[in-house]
Amino acid sequence: MKPGAIPSLRRWLLAGEWRAHPVRTLVAMAAIAIGVALGFAIHLINAAAYNEFSAAVRSLSGQAELQVRGAQAFIDEALYARLAQRPEIALASPVLEVDAVVPARREPLKVVGIDVFQAGAIAPDLIGMPAEDRPFDTLADDAVFLSPAAMEWLGVRQGDSLRLQVGTQPLELRVAGGLVRARAGQRLAVMDIGAAQWRLQRLGRLSRIDLKLTSGVDRAAFAAQLGRELPADILVTEPEDQEARTANMSRAYRVNLNVLALVALFTGAFLVFSTQALSVIRRRGQLALLRVLGMTRGQVLSQILLEGAWLGVVGSLLGLAAGYAMAAAALRLFGGDLGGGYFPGVQPSVQFTPVAACVFFLLGTAAALLGCAAPAWEAARARPAHAIKSGSEDTALSRLSPPWIALALIAIGAGMTRLPPVAELPIFGYLAIALLLIGGIGLMPRLAALTFSALSRFAGRVLQGSVPVLSLARLANAPNQASIALGGVLSSFSLMVAMAIMVSSFRVSVDDWLSQVLSADLYVRSAGGGSSGSLSAEEQRAIAGVPGVRRADFQRVSQLSIDPARPSVTVIAKPIDLSDPARSLPLVGESIPVSNPGGPPIWVSEAMVDLYGHRPGTQVTLPLGGQARQFTVAGVWRDYARQSGAIQMTLADYRQITGDREVNDVALWLEKNASLAQVTDALKKLPFGEALELAEPGEIRALSLQIFDRSFAVTYLLEGVAILIGLFGIAATFSAQTLARAKEFGMLRHLGVLRREILAMLAVEGGLLTLLGILTGFVLGGAISLILIFIVNPQSFHWSMQLHMPWGVLGAVALVLLASAAATALIAGRHAVSAQAVNAVREDW
């Protein structure tokens, strides 16, 4: 064949294939487009939210080179004078940050107290703009400056009053102006630091001290020197550490979302494989004729790869456009956290990133090329003299999936489940899932041959009628063609099963955990969000003395920074029965007895074991109460609320160490004859009762599960996409196979088989194939779900869960797939058994 004719022939073959089967081509493109769109959209959303949140954090730090902060929330302001006198420090700016409670709102308002004269040289974005006739409002004790987003959120303007809550008491402030340089969506309030310390009841306390160093001072060396000189509970960090903490906290969530999005792309790649494999089988004689006419093996190979590449190119371009539109809509409607809650208080906007677009474009194209690689290889290797004849279709696929390769992949995947995480990410867990899935699909020809051969022998001895005998004989003698349809069902259904089992197990585990930790009759807190709400010792006594209250357990929640590169750890102090800690803690394993020489006992969450190595029986040092103190880890408890780690200790030990007598929350148990409504009314009638938030266990449980469902909304969407792609795959595969068997059906019609019997045979074949795919998908999906539950989740989020099977959901989806497969086979078969199909047998006569 002349080289100059090849380009024209390639275009003619490509256009002819697309014109002959436009629906199947569009389905394959749509599968690639869906995978690329989901992955690109999730990347754009996460990138926009993370970048905007990081920019907002940098605006608070300004041009500071170092930051001095405490392991706990506040430090003594005497440290400021000590640092300001050092010759290495050119400028020291004290900062007080408080997440102030806003009445009737769940989210707090970040209030930042600054020294205007010092902050102007480090963080000028925090300087408020007062009215022209009141230039000294930046120093006024009742003035607060709000960012545009905070004004919009609170519904106030310059000159209005702003009501906050400190402890249980209201605080009225005057909105003196705005923060014109605040980031879009950043809810922020700024006050004079002296006024903030007084009004927010933080006299003598600071959150951090921002430092600018004298020219020529080595920042790293000075930070190390300062860290050695300062007390153990004082940390010297760089502003970039805050971004690192945010990145570490949200990284696992972002990576898992992207991996789930790539699941759709993987399923799309297999749909391309089934489309191209069936296309090669159908055109086997045409390709063999081209070989006879002079087309080389390399040219045949490149032609099939070109067809797959065009599917990938067009699908990827459509996916990039759809992904950008999805990201823009999601950011506008739902914000940037996708339910994860990692980026509060920002309003990101989508930004097109060429590098990421190129990556996802290449991923989509590569997925399509991989999907058509095996069919292209088979088409190039086929012998023209053999391939040009009818009847060799099933043998054409026999070399595509040797069982030993599939078994080796499954064995390697199983071995990878024993490997540790990489950079705190379950990389080997993801690879194990991919290898198990590919290996399972690769075993389908052998599984189909064994299963349908056994059923065919059984049908020959027991069943009556030609329909089941013909159906089982066809499936048993053409297992490789059957495996294409089986693989489409298996890839989509097994992934859906795995995700459904994982999400259901997680939800049931969270529900059971909530039932265990919410054991009181009524819960009281000074504020739903923020750090300015608390209950004093006098208020605690008043609550405990309310008629009808049998027992009141007070709880103090605070934050502790152990590693500057990681998010803070939550410290929870509450009454704990040392003789039986399991009564108040959801322990994982037994609590060990603690001897006094080892230090006060603490119980750590599962994340503390993974992140810091705090195992039961070990002695650990924590910067608590102004100095490094030794504690003994007495046990591990399950915590689904905080993946960065949490520590529980007795309230008595906490108060003795820190001297802090305030609390945040109260758990109340009522007298046997007491009415919940009467106790609630009595609490509301206390002098500070209007500031209290009351909730029953059922309300907290329902709200927590609602938040859970919102957090997994993307996962539910991806499950739906997997099902949708699976249905498309079933339709495309059965349609193509049925149309390719026109000669077979024509021969059966010549032999006297009725049209309705052929249609019944197709329905039986479709149902049996799908049923085998569903049963295998249950097994494979169950295995993948075990990896997700017991490897991926513990390594990503540092918590364990119990296995729960959502039989109702899985059964409903299985029935939908089964019905759709049978219906698709029937619809496609109506054309295959038409009068024209009878004449198809003449082609070989």
**Tell me, what's the pLDDT at 465?**
64
β-bridge mates for residue 210, sequence order:
67, 93
Mean pLDDT on 757-764: 78
Mean pLDDT on 828-843: 56
Give 77's Cβ-side CA count (13 Å radius).
15
CA-based angle 687:689:694, to the nearest 5?
A: 165
For residue 627, is pLDDT > 80? Answer: yes
Least confident of 596-605, 651-660, 733-742: 733-742
pTM of the model as a whole: 0.83
Q: HEC states along 56-92?
A: HHHHHHCCCCEEEEECCCCEECHHHHHHHCCCCEEEE
Cα separation of 69 and 200, whole Å?
Answer: 19
Amino acid residing at 673: N
> What tens digit of pLDDT does each residue of 68-77 get?
999 998 999 9
For residue 715, is pLDDT > 90? Answer: no
**Tell me, what's the pLDDT at 816?**
82
**Tell me, what's the pLDDT at 833?**
62
Cα separation of 598 and 630, whole Å?
Answer: 7
For residue 179, is pLDDT > 80? Answer: yes
**Tell me, what's the pLDDT at 653?**
94
Tokens 């008595």 sit on residue: 652
Instruction: List Cα–Cα distances, 787 to 259, 434, 648, in angstroms.
Output: 14, 11, 30
Q: How confident is the model at residue 718 (pLDDT cuts 50, 70, 90)?
A: low
Cα separation of 807 and 497, whole Å?
Answer: 10
For residue 549, is pLDDT > 60? Answer: yes
φ, ψ dihedrals at 454, nearest 5°? -65, -45
Mean pLDDT on 674-693: 92
Amino acid residing at 617: G
For residue 335, is pLDDT > 70? Answer: no
Mean pLDDT on 134-148: 92
Instruction: List Cα–Cα distances, 550 to 520, 521, 672, 697, in angstroms.
Output: 11, 10, 8, 17
Q: Which of residues 763 and 153 earns the better pLDDT score?
A: 153
> What tens digit of pLDDT does each residue of 387-428 get?
565 555 555 455 555 788 889 999 999 999 999 998 888 999
Mean pLDDT on 688-706: 89
Q: Which of residues 378 and 636 earns the better pLDDT score?
A: 636
> What tens digit of pLDDT does each residue of 248-278 get?
767 777 777 777 777 767 777 777 777 777 6
For residue 741, is pLDDT > 80? Answer: no
Cα separation of 642 and 647, whole Å?
Answer: 10
**Tell me, what's the pLDDT at 844?**
45
Give alpha helix (H) positions in 185-239.
193-199, 219-229
> What tens digit of pLDDT does each residue of 436-488 get?
988 888 888 788 888 888 888 877 666 666 677 777 777 777 666 666 666 76
**Tell me, what's the pLDDT at 737?**
65
39: left (phi over 0), alpha (psi -120 to 50) or beta: alpha
**Tell me, what's the pLDDT at 845?**
42
What's the token pair of residue 21? 């089967």
Closest among 703, 35, 640 to 311, alpha carbons compared: 35
Cα separation of 617 and 344, whole Å?
Answer: 37
**Tell me, what's the pLDDT at 2?**
56
Least confident of 304-313, 606-615, 702-711: 702-711
**Tell me, what's the pLDDT at 154?**
93
